Homo-oligomer: A and B are copies of this chain.
Amino acid sequence: MNLTPLVQSFVLHFGEMGSHWGINRTVGQMYALLYVSEKPLNADEMAEALGFSRSNVSMGLKELTSWRLVKLQHLPGDRREYYSTPEDVWAIFQTLAEERKKREVDPTLTMLRGALLETPSNPADEHAQARMAEMHDLIDLTTSWFTDIQRLDVDTLKTLMKLGSQVQKFLEFKQKLPTFMGGSETP
């Protein structure tokens, strides 16, 4: 399989971006290739298209699988395993957010909670704990909110996002008079 220039540049960009992220270059490229592919690909096709060794592709797919970013499927009359990415970009985004939370945020929250249980034995520790508490509360609030908001269906989420900072007006209702309600001026 030969990549078109358009796909080529997308794939290469994702590779570079991968390293700015925590993911390695070749894994980024593999994901990008699957993401834009019309049909599921098997490992040999990927190795050929990207110029990687077969074993590297195997490792990469294992990694992508652990992130729940690829789907495995079989084609009738073909023993080989075919991979693709989920269709729904919002679902992909959600998966990514969940995995990152699990890997990068939750361990920190756990560590902070542990540290906050200790009894500070000197002023330095006391100050450190106060700082850790601030960090804990921020992370806790942010991630709880994220988890909570994932329950919303995509359309509601889109509406909320398009509303942007105008949410403020809606929130003000909680404190203010019911009579204001009528005139809803949305962009």
A contact residues vs B (CB 8 Å cutoff): 4, 6-7, 9-10, 13, 17, 19-22, 35-36, 38, 89-90, 93, 103-104, 107-108, 111, 115, 118, 120-125, 127-129, 131-132, 134-135, 138, 141-142, 144-145, 148-149, 151-152, 156, 158-165, 167-168, 170-171, 173-174, 178, 181-182, 184, 186
Would you call A10 and B164 a contact (CB within 8 A)?
A: no
Cα A4 to Cα B184 with chains together (Å): 56
Known: A35-B135, A38-B124. 5 other contacts (CB 8 A): A19-B22, A36-B132, A149-B167, A152-B167, A159-B174
Q: How far is the CA of A108 from the CA of B17 in the complex (A)?
A: 8
The interface residues of chain B lying within 8 Å CB-to-CB of A144 are: 161, 164
Tell me if B164 and A145 are in contact (CB < 8 A). Answer: yes
Q: Which residues of B contact A151 (CB under 8 A)?
A: 165
B134 touches A10 (CB 8 A): no
Option from B132, B152, B158, B168 in Cβ contact (under 8 Å) with A165: B152
Closest to A174 in B: B184
Contact B138 A9 (CB under 8 A): no
Name the distance in Å between A45's Cβ and chain B's nearest Cβ.
13
Specify the chain B residue showing the minimal Cβ separation from A138: B89
* B181 pairs with A181, CB closer than 8 A: yes
Within 8 Å by CB of A20, from B4, B22, B131, B184, lies B22
CB distance from A8 to the nearest CB of B (A): 10
> Which chain B positions have C-beta within 8 A of A21?
22, 104
